[in-house]
A and B are shown apart, each in its own frame.
Chain A
């Protein structure tokens, strides 16, 4: 079955069979390897992408369900003007170490930026709890997200 959707602002069309995962469509067909497979069971969030500005685990989304939707991956966060504020904040705060979880966190934070729901500093840890990191202890990740999602957005 052919599905048409927007990927990082570009229209695209792909042949999708059965319950093929969105994660595999992105990584293998679209060659957008930024979303990673850390667990395949929706626990680690390394595969987080946005569908219509909502953060989801791509390993749990059947690709057929993104027909007509806007999908955003880490490859689509930067614009011609430069990096997304959260990408810059991650660099500035040292929030990435091995980097494998980084794209997932960036998409989660980007979805918080895109949402009209207000976010307070005290809410950030709960909001990020669907993204596991083993390197950083989360400290610098939380600092970067608070800076962008709470302070800059305010």
Chain B
């Protein structure tokens, strides 16, 4: 029995001994190093690119857009983003040229000596101005995507009290501790092997399949191998395709292996971030605070290229009401282009932005009506049979359960002696304590028809008494390489030690879909369970015996590999219309309640986290240690987003604070003690009842922090991050000190 056990992770021994090899650890003979020449301005026409005469170029290769053998395109959803800027620069840090050199230091030096002659143009940097601006970046109106969701008729609701608010969030950096890195190795037989830090090996094949021209028409010419990856959180979902494009171009041009590993400052400036958002919510409520109508206007900034912005907007609007019931809903979402570095995936993917707004709005309603914010939520929380804004009927919604579990934990821990948190200033410091709560939900897996279109695959084999699992879903710390063997071992009834994972190498593994969207355990894990069943059936057929897999495996004499492949099949139970945005948006939802205890220093506006409690419905915790680890990690990322993680923009729309000394993520001292409650309301569509859990930890904590700050000081903050500077100004305005 391995499911539900806190099995030690499969790669644990390797990680604690330093044996795990990340891309920069991998030695490759005769490897060149690449570096990227990037634009220093947001919008310009490129006139020419030259080598500075003050540099020795003898051992350096320089590539620009005109050297690209195929299509100058890194493809994800649209055909708009080039690997290297050609005539136009559309954002600061946009790659303009590439260099390769024998050492990394030489490559970085060479890149500094490439002269890019430009004609600077006016840049559009304000997302509020994008749609009606004369400056065109994308399409006719700079709209990457517009989505409208309508339920009932908000116009017809004329009674009740109007409550309005505007809520904003800034950029947010994933800050994986391993910077992005990739290496492209030309193969003797032709083709390229690309190894690196990534979440989605198959995205790279799709991303650069047209880039390399002659000799690369067949996608099989590209072999992508995921190296051990030091964190991703979405930041290594699509950006690695750009980095792979650069390595590949240099490798093809030089005929040599080429590695590019970003320094931290380049990674911070140049790679994707969470989309900034501005959400206006206008609700009508009755005297008890019940929602009569909800009107949401959500705007997100996609940056200069499409990347996967429409999908972020989609998830954002689908979570815009929060887990609350309302018959009359209108949601209008827009994602626009600006001349800033493209934004991309980061845990939560639109839902954290949406529920920052919806939870703050619930607090606004509570405040204006004088109702307790927890009581208000209970009154509006969806229940069995309620429908979402897209008309989806909710089955076993876990909102009430997680709320009760979290409140129970607070009560159980009431006598807990919490260590006096230093927080600076010792006994002289003046502090006010506060407690805040938030309630969120999160759709698991891809929206609507996503999985049906994807048809993710997974293979499994039996050879020499060992079972091997082949999947394009990657291990990025969350535990894929541990839970998939658990699923297989459980289904087959064999020892966990007999099950292994094949390396995530596209030559060995099928496309299971990307490692994103809280789908790996629930969807791909389900395909894994399916494959295990198929393997058992295949073995039974091979031996002509109907017996348990374990005994058949012991009996089997053949040296031949027995291999099966399983695929996700849409069972037709979900109905979704992409045009009207009506129907079953997600197969199921996770639910989470966060309760944070903090104190605000009245002299400095600093927030000190003292304790964090979360109760999350995970369906079934396949591995409770891994599950709670994901929740703890995601929650702390959200606490950092709440009060310290700010991307400071310069005049070109780029990241000014591009050093870890100035982009502030929590240390162990900043982090609170965390109590993580795993609630299990099984989902019968997931393996052993499991739901997706990767992203939901990001959705709730920030709003709970805002509520706690309000309780402690009375100040109301609706914009993230709530830095000490902003808190102090707000306290001064309120006369608190």
Contact = CB atoms under 8 A, between A and B. Distances in A.
Direct contact of A and B (CB under 8 A): yes
Contacts of A71: none
Given A46-B177, A74-B18, 15 more contacts: A31-B27, A33-B18, A74-B16, A75-B18, A87-B17, A96-B16, A98-B232, A98-B476, A99-B230, A128-B667, A134-B233, A135-B477, A135-B629, A137-B634, A137-B671
Contacts of B676: 139
Interface stretch (A9-17, A35-43, A60-68): A35-43
A56 interface: no
A39 B230 CA distance: 13
Contacts of A58: none
Nearest to B660: A43
Contacts of A98: 176-178, 228-232, 476-477
Contacts, number: 174
Contact of B478 (A83, A97, A103, A139): A97
B515 to A, nearest CB: 12
Nearest to A97: B477
A138 B672 CA distance: 9
Nearest to A89: B16
B264 A40 contact: yes
27 contacts: A33-B18, A33-B25, A38-B179, A75-B17, A75-B18, A91-B16, A94-B626, A94-B629, A98-B229, A99-B16, A99-B228, A99-B230, A100-B177, A126-B422, A126-B668, A129-B670, A132-B660, A132-B667, A133-B177, A134-B637, A134-B665, A137-B632, A137-B633, A137-B674, A138-B632, A139-B628, A140-B632
B18 A96 contact: no
Interface residues of A, number: 55
B617 interface: no
B632 A34 contact: no
Interface in B467-489: 476-479
A75 B479 CA distance: 23
A43 B176 CA distance: 14
B264 A41 contact: yes
A97 B629 contact: yes
Contacts of A139: 628-629, 632, 671, 673-674, 676
Contacts of A96: 9, 12, 15-16
A136 B633 contact: yes
Contacts of A92: 8
Nearest to B419: A122
A100 B629 contact: no
A71 B493 CA distance: 47
Interface in A116-136: 121-122, 124-126, 128-136
Interface string B35-66: 00000000000000000000000000000000
A143 to B, nearest CB: 10
A94 B671 contact: no
Interface residues of B, number: 61
B636 interface: yes
B12 to A, nearest CB: 4
Contacts of A122: 419-420
Contacts of A78: 17
Interface string B214-243: 000000000000001111110000000000
A94 B264 contact: no
A19 to B, nearest CB: 12
B24 A37 contact: yes
Given A38-B179, A98-B176, A99-B20, A134 B8 contact: no
B11 interface: yes
Contacts of A125: 668-669, 671
A40 B24 CA distance: 14
Given A98-B177, A138-B668, A34 B18 contact: yes
A142 interface: yes
Interface in B628-675: 628-630, 632-637, 659-661, 665, 667-671, 673-674
A73 B17 CA distance: 10
A121 to B, nearest CB: 8
B668 A128 contact: yes
Contacts of A27: 24-25
A137 B195 CA distance: 28
A137 B636 contact: yes
B263 interface: yes
B98 interface: no
A139 to B, nearest CB: 5
B8 A94 contact: yes
A32 interface: yes
Interface in B1-17: 6, 8-9, 11-17
B523 interface: no
Nearest to B637: A134
B479 A132 contact: no
A106 interface: yes
Contacts of A7: none
